[in-house]
Structure 1
Amino acid sequence: MTNLRKRAGFHGLVLAAVCGLAPVTALVVAPETAQAQPPAAERPTPAQLLNDFMHYVLVDRYDLAEAMGRELLDRNVPGPELVAMIETGDVARFTSSCQRAMRDQRLEEVSSGLLKAYESGKLARARDPIEILKNIEMLGGTVRGRLMARERLLAAGEYAMPQLLTALLDRSNTALGGEVRRVIIDLGRQAVIPMATAMMKLPETQQETVAETLGLIPWKTSLPFLVDLSQGTKNAKVRDACLRSIERVGGGAGEAGALYRELATAYYDERLEVTSFTGEDHQLLWSYEPAIGLVMTAIRTSVYHEAMAMRLAERAMQLESASGMTSDATLALWVAANFSREIDAPAGYENPAYAADRRGADYFAAAAGPRVCQLVLTRALTDRDTPLARRALAMVERTAGSRALASAEGRTALVDALNYPNRRVQFEAALALGVAQPRDNFAGADRVVPTLAGAVRGASSQVAMVIGADAEAYQSTRKMLQGLGYTVLPLGRNIGELSAAIAEAPAIDLIVGNGLDAEKAPAMIGEARGTPKLSATPVLLLAPSDQAADMKRRYLGDARVAVRPVAAGEAMLAQAAKDLVQAASGGPITEAEAASYSSRALSAMRDLAISGNTVLNVGDASAALTTALGETSGPTRMKVGEILSRIGQERCQRALMDAAAAASGAERVDLLNLTRESAKAHGNLLEARHITRLVDMASKGFDDEATAAASLLGSLEVAGSQVVPLILQSR
C-alpha cells in the first residue's frame, strides 16, 4: 500500500485538474444573475429553494417554480454539496419534478440545469481522487465495505484507473491486488485503453501482469496492443501472456499495423464502444510515464475521437514503415482525422493532443497527394460529411493533374462528388476535374461542364421544403424561410408528394418538418436520407411542445438535425435554421462565394476551351453561357464572351453579335472583337440581319467602334458588294 499512497497525492492533483476541465462540479450559473440580493438573513437557504421549486412544479405554479429554480442555479452550489442536499431528502421527488417541469417551455432551461448539476455532482463525488483511494483501501476490508467500494469505483469508471493500476502492480498486498483485478475486469472497456497504454512502457514483469488482465476483459480494443507487444518483445513470458490473452478475447492471426488501423477507424467513426462518457463534454486521453505512472488528460469530446484515431494510425504507420509496406488507407485515415480535428474543434480551443506549433491539416494533406485525398473524399461522401468533402476537394484541386481520375477503392470519388447533395461540393468537384484537364474519357464526364456553368449562374440561390399537414402553419413557416432568402417549394405531407419539385430544383438546402411528432419525424428523416438528393440536407424539426425535449435528446448526436418546439417564436426558429445550415453544410452560399465560384468556373472553362480538351467539352455549356452573357456585366461578361468565342456553334457567335449590337461604347467594341475572334476560329456563323447591322456600325460608328466592326466584317469574309459601299461613302 505504500506505493499506492505515494502516488495518491500526484493522481489527486492530476485528477483534480482534469475534473476542473471535464465534469461540471458546480451548478451552472444562469444568465440573469445581475439582480439585487436581499440581506443574507432574509434569503432562503438552497435547501428551501429546492423544496419550493419542487412544490411549485407539483401545484402547476410554473412562474414561481422558475423563480425558485433560477435562484438556486444562481447560488452556484458546489455539485457534491447539491447531491448531498438532494439525497438527504427525496431523490425520486426531485427527479420526477424536474422531468415534469421540462415539459413546459418556460421551465425547460431551469429544470435541465438542475438535473445536469445533480448528475455532474454525483460524477464529481465518485471521481474525487481521495474518494477513489479510500474505496481502493476498503476493498481489503469487510464484505459490506468491499461491496460499497466496488460500487463506487465502478461509478468512478476510467477516472479510477491510475490508482487501480498502481494497486494491481503493488506486490506487497496480493490480496488487495486480487480484489482490484476483479474491479478492473468489471470496468470492462473503460479499463482497456488506460491498461494497454501503460502496458507498452511497463517493465517486463509488470507487462505480463497487465497482459494477463487484459485477456480477462472481453473487449477487442486491446488486440492491437497485445499483438504489437507479442511481436516486439524478447521476453518469452510476456509473449506467452499476450498470446493467451489474444486467444481469450477472440483475436486471430493478424498484423499489429492492420489491427491499429481497424481500431483507429472505430474511433474515427465515433462508435459507442470506444466512447467512455457518452453525452459528456470531455473524454480522457492516456499516457504513461515510468517515473509517474498513468497520466490522464481531459480533452473535449468533439475532438477526442480524432485524437485517438490519429494516435493509433500513427502507430500503424510506424509499423508499416518498418516493414516497408506503407498503406495509403492508413495515411488517408490519418489525414481525414486531422481534417476533422480542425473542423470540429471549438473556436480558440487549445487541443492537448495537437501542439499549437504543429503544421495545419492542409500541409499534411497536400504532401500526401491527390490519390490519398481522393480516399479521404470517398470516406467523406460515404459518411455524408460535407465539411470534410470540401477540405478533401480543395486539396485534390491544388495537387492533382490528369491523374485525378484514378479510382479510389473502386470508385471515382471526384465524379461521385458531382452528385453529392450539396452545391458547394458539386461546384468544387467540377472545378477540381476541370483543373485536372483529364485526357481519357470517363463515366460522368458529361456532367462536369454543365456543373461549371451552373456555378456561373444562380450559385447563391437557396431552396427549402416544408413537410407537414397544416396549411396555415406552412404559410407561417414559408414566410419565415422567405425572409431568410429561401425559395420555398409547395407544402407536402411527405417527401414523395414533392418528388417532381425536388427533381427540378438545383438542390434542396433545408427541410423543415412542421409539427411532426415523435412517430412521423423519424419516418420523414429516414425517407429523406434514402433520397439521393436529400441524403445530406439539414432537417429542422418543429416538434409538438410536449415532445420537443425527448426529440432533442434523440437527435443530439446528429449535426444535420435540429429540434425546436413548434410554438417557438419566429426569431428563434429563424436563428435555429441559420445555425443548423451553418453547422451542417457551411451556411448559404453568400454573394461573395457565388462571385468566387463564378470566376473560378469561368477560368476553368476558358482553360478547357483554349486547350481544346475533348473529354470535357465546353460546348456542353453553350446554352447556359449564352444566357449568362445576357445576365452578367463588366469583367464577368467579358469572360463569358471569351469562352463563347472559342465554341464553334452558331448560337455562340450569334449571341456575341446580338450582345454587341445591344451594347454601347467600349463594351460594344470589346464584344465586336470577341465576335471577330469567333469568326477567325470558326468562320461566318451569323445571319443576314447581323451583317446588315454590322455594316451600319462600320459606316456610322465612332472610330474605335467602326474599326472593330470593319475588322469583324473582314474576318467574316463577307461579299465584296457589302464592303464597297463603305469605301465609297468615305470619299
Structure 2
Amino acid sequence: MANVSRRFVGTLVLLMLSFGLLLGSLIAQDASPVDADAAAAAEAKRREDLLKTSPLPLQPETAPDLFEAAVLMVDLARPKLARLYVDQLMELKPDAQTLLDLRLKYGPAEFMKMANIEELQPVSSDLLEEVNRLMADRARDPVRIQKLVADLGGSNEQRLLAEHELKNGGQAIVVPLLNMLQHSPTPEEERNILHILVLLGHRAEAPLVAALDMPDDDVRAGLISVLGHVGNRETLSHLWYYANSPKVPAGVKAAARDAIARIVKMDAGRLADSPVESVVTELNRLARLHYQHKYDWLVDDDGNVSLWVWKREAESVVLVKVPPRVASNILGSKFARQALALSPERRDIQVLFLSMTLAADGMLAGWDKPLPTGPGTAHDLSLVAGEDVVADVLREALQGGQIANAVAALRVLGQIGTLRMVRSADAGRSPVLAALNYPDTRVQFAAAGTVMQLDPQAKFPGVDRVIGILSRALTGQGKPVALVIDPNPDRASQMSGFLNELGYVPHLRTTGREGFRFASENADVELVFIHPSTVKWPLSSTLSNFRADSRTASIPIVLYGPEDFSGRMHRYVEDNPLVTYFGITGTTQGLQAQLTPFLKNLTAPPLNEEQRAIQAEVASYWLAHIAEGQRTKIYDLQAAVPSLLVAAHNVPLTENCLLALGTIASREAQEKMAELLLDDGVETRLRATAAIQLAFHIQRHGLVVSNEQIAQIHEMWETPGDPALHTAVGAVIGSLRPNSRLVGERLQEFQEQPALELIQP
C-alpha cells in the first residue's frame, strides 16, 4: 500500500511539474505580444509628447511635407523633432521619383547636413545613401541621356535646359555618351555629344583618355578634339603617338596635332616637323617611369588607384580600382607598345616592351603561380625574342628590383640560353652569374636552376654559389622562421611569443654574430627582429653584415625598442625599404598592426610553405643530377653534406639525397646511408636505395661505418624480409670484403632448389 501511495505521489508531482512548464510556456508566449504592444504604446506616447512641442501649426503627413519639416527643425536646432519627421518620412517608404524630386528641389547640401547630425543617424545616413544611389542611376540612365541629347536640337529653352541637365550629370554621363557615339549617331547628334563632353571639362578627361583605345578611328578623332579643349599638359603623353605615327589615319593625326597645339598654345603647323625620335624618347621615358614604379599616383584611402580603362569585351570604358603597381603596368605597357610601334628596331625599347609584358603576365598569375605559357603569353614571346634580348630584360630587372621579371627571364634563358652566359670571359657581363648573388632567394634559386640547365662543362665564376643556393633551399621546407637577436632573454622571449602567434617559428640569439650565422645557414628565415642593444656585433656592424651577404641581404629586418628610440634609429631605416623600426608593443595585435603594412610594401612576399617545399624538391633533383652525371669535377658536393644529411629524412627528398650522398667521400654520408637502411620506419623502397648507395660508397671510398652498424646489417641479412631489400642488403654485405672462411660458410648455408622443381610441365 505504501508503494502504491509513493507511486501515486510521484506521478502527481510529475503532472504538476509538466503543468507548470506548460503554463510558463503559455505565459512566455503571451508576454511577447504584450511587451511589444507596451513598447509600441510607449513609443506612440513619446512621439505624441514630442509633437506637442513642435512649433508647426499643422503636422505634416506627406513625404515632401515631412522632409520640409525636418529641414526646418534642423535649422531651428531641434534635432529630436527633426529625427521624428525623418523617421515618419522613411516609414512612408517613398518611391524613387518622390526622393528624386526632393533631391532636385533641395540639392545635396540638406541631405548631407542631416547625415552628419549624430541624433539623426543612422536613418539620415541611410536616406543620403539611397538618394545618392538614385541620382547616380538617373545620371547614367541611357534613355534619359538620349532624350536630353535630342532636346539639344529643340527650341532654345529645351536646349538650355538639356545643356544644364547634362552638364550637371558630371562624369557619370561620359560612358553613356561614349556608347552613343559608337552606335552611328547622326552628324548633328555627334556634334551635340562632343559639345557636351567639352562642357564637362576636366571631369571628362580620364574616361576620354581611356576611350582612345577603342577600335573606331572616326570616334577617336572626335574624342581627341575634345581632349584638346578639356586636357592639360598631362594629357599630352596620350596624344604624342597619334600625332606622329605613320600607321594612324590622317584625320586622327590632324586631330591629335590640333589638340596638342591647343594645349601648349602653339601653331599646329610647327608640330608637323617634330622629329619622331624625340617622341619615341618621351614615350620611352614615360614607360620606364611606370616600369620602375616611380610614377606618383593619387591613391584612395584603401591604397588603390581609381583608373579608367577600355574593356574590349564590354566595348566601353570602365572605372577599376587597382594597386599602383598594376595601374603603372597598364599605362606603362601602353606607352611601351606605342614607342615600339614608332621605332621597332631599337633594342632598349624591345627590352622595355618585353619587360612590361612579362610584368603584366606575372601580376595576373600572382606570386604563388608560375608564369603562364602557351600562345599569346609573355613567356612564349620571350622564347622567340632570343637570348640577347632576354638577357637584357634580366639586366633591367636586376637593376630595377623587378624580382618577378628576373625570375621569368632566368627561366626563359634556361631554355634558350647558351654557354656564353656562364663562360669565364663573360663573367662580368653575364646577368645570370650576377643573379646568383642578387639579394633575393627567388632570383638566386632561379639563377642556379638556369645554370644547371645550361650544363657548363668546366668550372666558371660563381660555381660554388650554385651548390650553396641549392643546399640552402634543400632544408627550406618548414614554417617561416623569425629570428630574434636580443641580449635580454625576457624581452626576447616575449617577442618570440608574439611571433609564434603570428605563424612564425621563432629562434633566439643573444649576439649579432650568432644571429647572422644562423640566418646565413637557414633558408627558412623570413624575418629578423633586432634590438638596438645587440652586442658582439653592435647594431651597425650587424646590419652591415646582413646586407653584405647575398644569403641574408633580402631578409626584412625590424629594429624594435622603446618608442622614443625612433629618432635615433632613423639613420638605419632611411633609404632602406627592407629595414624598419617598431616601438615595443604589449600585444600580438599591436605587433601585427605594425608588421602587416611593412611586409605588404616589400617587392616580393615571403615564400609560403608550398613554395619552399617545391624549391627543396627541385634542389634535391639538381644535386642528384650532379652526382649521377659525373659533374662532381665541376661542382663540389662536399659543401652540401650538412643540408643533405638533414633533408635525407624528408621522404619526398630522401631518394635524391641518397643519390647525392653516394658520391661524396664523407664519413657522415656513409653513416647516414647506413642509418636509413637500418631504420624500420623508412619505406622499404628507400631503404633499398640506401643499401645500394651504401654498397657503392663503400666500394669507392672504403668502409667507415661503425662496427655496431655492420653487425646490425649482418643481422638484417640473416632475417627474412622483402626480397628486393634483401638483395640490396646483399650488395652491402659483399662490399664488406668477406674473408675465405666467411665466404665458405655463406656458400654452404645456401639452400639449392632441386632442378626438377624448376622444370615447368
Alignment of 1:590-601 (within 5 A): 590=609, 593-601=611-619
Aligned amino acid, residue 94 of structure 1: N
- Residue 627 (structure 2) aligns with: 609
- Residue 568 (structure 2) aligns with: none
User: Are residues 390 and 622 of structure 1, via their aligned partners in 2, closer, same or farther at CA, if it must alter by over 3 Å?
Assistant: closer
- Give the drift of 1:435: 3.1
Alignment of 1:55-204 (within 5 A): 87-88=109-110, 91=113, 94=116, 124=136, 162=178, 184=201, 190=206, 193-194=209-210, 197=213, 201-202=217-218
Unaligned runs of 5+ in 1: 1-35, 55-67, 99-106, 347-356, 515-525, 545-557, 715-721
- Which whole-Å CA distance do the structure 2 matches of 1:542 and 1:85 have between them? 54
- Give the drift of 1:604: 1.1
Structure 2 residue 692 is matched with structure 1 residue 673: yes
Alignment of 1:665-704 (within 5 A): 670-678=689-697, 683-687=700-704, 701-702=717-718, 704=727
The SS at the match of 1:464 is strand
- Give the drift of 1:452: 1.0
- Residue 659 (structure 2) aligns with: 642
CA RMSD for the aligned pairs?
7.1
User: Does 696-705 or 574-583 show the bigger shift?
Assistant: 574-583
* Contact 1:377 1:388 (8 Å CA) reproduced: yes
- Give the drift of 1:88: 1.1
* Contact 1:381 1:389 (8 Å CA) reproduced: yes
- Which whole-Å CA distance do the structure 1 matches of 2:436 and 2:499 have between them? 28
- Residue 358 (structure 2) aligns with: 335
Alignment of 1:615-654 (within 5 A): 617-625=635-643, 627-628=645-646, 632=649, 636-647=653-664, 649-651=665-667, 654=670
- Which whole-Å CA distance do the structure 2 matches of 1:433 and 1:505 have between them? 22
User: Are residues 300 and 616 of structure 1, via their aligned partners in 2, closer, same or farther at CA, if it must alter by over 3 Å?
Assistant: farther
- Give the drift of 1:537: 3.9
- Which whole-Å CA distance do the structure 2 matches of 1:115 and 1:563 have between them? 43
- Which whole-Å CA distance do the structure 2 matches of 1:295 and 1:635 have between them? 51
* Contact 1:369 1:399 (8 Å CA) reproduced: yes
- Which whole-Å CA distance do the structure 2 matches of 1:612 and 1:76 have between them? 85
Aligned amino acid, residue 309 of structure 2: L
- Which whole-Å CA distance do the structure 1 matches of 2:235 and 2:456 have between them? 48
User: Are residues 445 and 512 of structure 1, via their aligned partners in 2, closer, same or farther at CA, if it must alter by over 3 Å?
Assistant: same
- Residue 467 (structure 2) aligns with: 449
Superposed CA offset, 1:361-402 (max 9, x none): 655556656766666655665665666655555555566564
- Which whole-Å CA distance do the structure 1 matches of 2:562 and 2:162 have between them? 48
* Contact 2:516 2:545 (8 Å CA) reproduced: no
Superposed CA offset, 1:667-691 (max 9, x none): 66643432343455xx44445x769
User: Are residues 394 and 310 of structure 1, via their aligned partners in 2, closer, same or farther at CA, if it must alter by over 3 Å?
Assistant: same
Q: Percent identity?
A: 14
- Residue 65 (structure 1) aligns with: none
- Residue 711 (structure 1) aligns with: 734
- Give the drift of 1:599: 2.7
- Give the drift of 1:327: 1.8
Superposed CA offset, 1:422-447 (max 9, x none): 4x554444334323323465543321
Aligned amino acid, residue 598 of structure 1: A
- Which whole-Å CA distance do the structure 1 matches of 2:620 and 2:277 have between them? 51
* Contact 1:427 1:451 (8 Å CA) reproduced: yes
Aligned amino acid, residue 296 of structure 1: V
User: Are residues 586 and 511 of structure 1, via their aligned partners in 2, closer, same or farther at CA, if it must alter by over 3 Å?
Assistant: same
* Contact 1:380 1:388 (8 Å CA) reproduced: yes
TM-score, scaled relative to structure 1: 0.58
1:482 to 485, 497, 500: 500
- Residue 449 (structure 2) aligns with: 431
Superposed CA offset, 1:224-247 (max 9, x none): 324434775557966864785798
* Contact 2:283 2:335 (8 Å CA) reproduced: yes
User: Are residues 459 and 569 of structure 1, via their aligned partners in 2, closer, same or farther at CA, if it must alter by over 3 Å?
Assistant: closer
User: Are residues 195 and 154 of structure 1, via their aligned partners in 2, closer, same or farther at CA, if it must alter by over 3 Å?
Assistant: same
1:301 to 322, 331, 334: 322
- Which whole-Å CA distance do the structure 1 matches of 2:735 and 2:446 have between them? 37
Superposed CA offset, 1:644-667 (max 9, x none): 2223x3446644675478557886
The SS at the match of 2:277 is coil
The SS at the match of 1:612 is coil
- Give the drift of 1:600: 1.9
- Give the drift of 1:617: 0.4
* Contact 2:287 2:335 (8 Å CA) reproduced: yes
- Give the drift of 1:334: 1.5
User: Does 76-85 or 193-202 show the bigger shift?
Assistant: 76-85
- Give the drift of 1:301: 2.5
User: Are residues 396 and 241 of structure 1, via their aligned partners in 2, closer, same or farther at CA, if it must alter by over 3 Å?
Assistant: same
Unaligned runs of 5+ in 2: 1-35, 48-62, 75-85, 532-542, 564-576, 719-725, 749-761
- Which whole-Å CA distance do the structure 1 matches of 2:491 and 2:417 have between them? 49
- Give the drift of 1:319: 4.7
Alignment of 1:368-379 (within 5 A): none
- Residue 540 (structure 2) aligns with: none
User: Are residues 383 and 666 of structure 1, via their aligned partners in 2, closer, same or farther at CA, if it must alter by over 3 Å?
Assistant: closer
Structure 2 residue 526 is matched with structure 1 residue 509: yes
User: Are residues 640 and 379 of structure 1, via their aligned partners in 2, closer, same or farther at CA, if it must alter by over 3 Å?
Assistant: same
